[in-house]
Structure 1
Amino acid sequence: MPKAAAEIVEIAGHDVRLTSPDKVMFPQRNYTKRDVFEYYLAVGDGIMRALRQRPTTLQRFPDGIEGEAFFQKRIPQRGVPEWIQTAQIKFPSMRTAVELCPADLAHVAWAAQMGTVVFHPWPVRGDAPDNPDELRIDLDPQPGNSFADVVATANVLHEVLDDLGWVGYPKTSGGRGVHVYIRIAPSWSFVEVRRAAIALAREAERRRPDLITTAWWKEERGERVFLDFNQMARDRTITCAYSLRANARATASAPVTWAELPDVEPDDFDLRTLPKRFAEIGDPHAKIDDIAHDLTPLLEWVERDEKSGQGDMPYPPDHPKMPGEPPRVQPSRKNAANWQKDE
Structure 2
Amino acid sequence: MTAGEREVRVTNPDRVIYEATDRTPAVTKLQVCEYFVKVADALMRTIRDRPTAMERWPNGYREGMRLSTGHGDDGDGFYQKRLPKGAPDWIETVRIAFPSGRTAEELCPTEPAALVWAAQMGTLTLHPWPVRRPDVDHPDELRLDLDPQPGVTFTDVRRVALVARELLEELGLRGYPKTSGSRGIHIYVRIEPRHTFEDVRHAAIGFGRELERRDGGVTTAWWKEERGERVFLDFNQNNRDRTIASAWSPRARPGAPVSMPLTWDRLAELTDPREFTVFSAPELLESHGDPWADMDEHPSPLEPLLHLWETLPGGEMPFPPDYPKMPGEPPRVQPSKKVAAHWDEHGNRIADR
Would you say same fold, with TM above 0.5? Answer: yes
Asked if 2 retains the 8 angstrom alpha-carbon contact of 1:327 and 1:339, the reply is no
The whole-number CA distance in structure 2 between the counterparts of 1:18 and 1:332 is 51
Give the deviation of 1:337 after TM superposition: 5.5
Asked if 2 retains the 8 angstrom alpha-carbon contact of 1:135 and 1:193, the reply is yes
Q: Percent identity?
A: 53
Q: Does 1:315 align with 2:319?
A: yes
Secondary structure at the aligned position of 1:171 is classed as strand
The whole-number CA distance in structure 1 between the counterparts of 2:200 and 2:341 is 32
Which residue number corresponds to residue 42 of structure 1?
38
TM-score when normalising by structure 1: 0.93
The partner residue of 1:297 within 283, 287, 304 is 304
Secondary structure at the aligned position of 1:106 is classed as helix
Q: Residues 73-84 of structure 1: matches in 2 within 5 Å?
A: 73-77=81-85, 79-84=86-91
In structure 2, give the amino acid aligned to 1:216: W
Which residue number corresponds to residue 260 of structure 1?
266
The partner residue of 1:51 within 47, 58, 66 is 47
Which residue number corresponds to residue 143 of structure 2?
136
Give the deviation of 1:338 after TM superposition: 5.2
Q: Does 1:326 align with 2:330?
A: yes
- Give aligned pairs, total: 330
Give the deviation of 1:336 after TM superposition: 3.8
Q: Does 1:63 align with 2:59?
A: yes
Of the structure 1 ranges 285-294 and 232-241, higher mean CA displacement relative to structure 2 is found in 285-294
The partner residue of 2:281 within 274, 279, 295 is 274
Of the structure 1 ranges 260-269 and 32-41, higher mean CA displacement relative to structure 2 is found in 260-269
The whole-number CA distance in structure 2 between the counterparts of 1:84 and 1:304 is 46
The whole-number CA distance in structure 2 between the counterparts of 1:248 and 1:39 is 17
Give the deviation of 1:188 after TM superposition: 1.0
Secondary structure at the aligned position of 2:264 is classed as coil
In structure 1, give the amino acid aligned to 2:150: P
5+ unaligned residues in a row in structure 1: which ranges?
1-8
Which residue number corresponds to residue 22 of structure 1?
14
Of the structure 1 ranges 325-334 and 193-202, higher mean CA displacement relative to structure 2 is found in 325-334
The whole-number CA distance in structure 1 between the counterparts of 2:296 and 2:344 is 44
The partner residue of 1:181 within 159, 166, 188 is 188
Query: Deviations along 1:80-116, whole A, 9 cap, x unmatched?
Result: 2221111111111111111110111111111111111
Of the structure 1 ranges 180-189 and 260-269, higher mean CA displacement relative to structure 2 is found in 260-269
The whole-number CA distance in structure 1 between the counterparts of 2:172 and 2:305 is 12
In structure 2, give the amino acid aligned to 1:253: S
Q: Residues 86-101 of structure 1: matches in 2 within 5 Å?
A: 86-101=93-108
Of the structure 1 ranges 224-233 and 12-21, higher mean CA displacement relative to structure 2 is found in 12-21
In structure 2, give the amino acid aligned to 1:176: R
5+ unaligned residues in a row in structure 2: which ranges?
66-75, 348-353
The whole-number CA distance in structure 1 between the counterparts of 2:7 and 2:34 is 15
The whole-number CA distance in structure 2 between the counterparts of 1:282 and 1:239 is 20
Secondary structure at the aligned position of 1:297 is classed as helix
The whole-number CA distance in structure 2 between the counterparts of 1:65 and 1:340 is 49
Which residue number corresponds to residue 3 of structure 1?
none
The whole-number CA distance in structure 1 between the counterparts of 2:161 and 2:301 is 21
Query: Deviations along 1:41-65, whole A, 9 cap, x unmatched?
Result: 1111121122111100001111111
Which residue number corresponds to residue 70 of structure 2?
none
Instruction: Assess, with a 3 A threshold, how the Cα gap between structure 1 residues 321 and 338 changes in structure 2: closer, same or farther.
Output: farther
In structure 1, give the amino acid aligned to 2:326: M
Secondary structure at the aligned position of 2:9 is classed as strand
Asked if 2 retains the 8 angstrom alpha-carbon contact of 1:117 and 1:245, the reply is yes
Q: Residues 125-164 of structure 1: matches in 2 within 5 Å?
A: 125-164=132-171
The whole-number CA distance in structure 1 between the counterparts of 2:259 and 2:138 is 25
Give the deviation of 1:164 after TM superposition: 1.0
Of the structure 1 ranges 235-244 and 64-73, higher mean CA displacement relative to structure 2 is found in 64-73
Give the deviation of 1:10 after TM superposition: 3.1
Which residue number corresponds to residue 232 of structure 1?
238
User: Which aligned segments of 4 or more residues in structure 1 are displaced greater than 3 angstroms?
Assistant: 336-340
Which residue number corresponds to residue 206 of structure 2?
199
The whole-number CA distance in structure 2 between the counterparts of 1:246 and 1:54 is 22
Asked if 1 retains the 8 angstrom alpha-carbon contact of 2:19 and 2:255, the reply is no
Secondary structure at the aligned position of 2:296 is classed as helix
Instruction: Assess, with a 3 A threshold, how the Cα gap between structure 1 residues 92 and 338 changes in structure 2: closer, same or farther.
Output: farther
Give the deviation of 1:76 after TM superposition: 2.4
Asked if 2 retains the 8 angstrom alpha-carbon contact of 1:190 and 1:233, the reply is yes
Kindly report the root-mean-square deviation, in angstroms, between the aligned alpha carbons of the 2 structures: 1.5
Secondary structure at the aligned position of 2:161 is classed as helix
The whole-number CA distance in structure 1 between the counterparts of 2:250 and 2:342 is 42
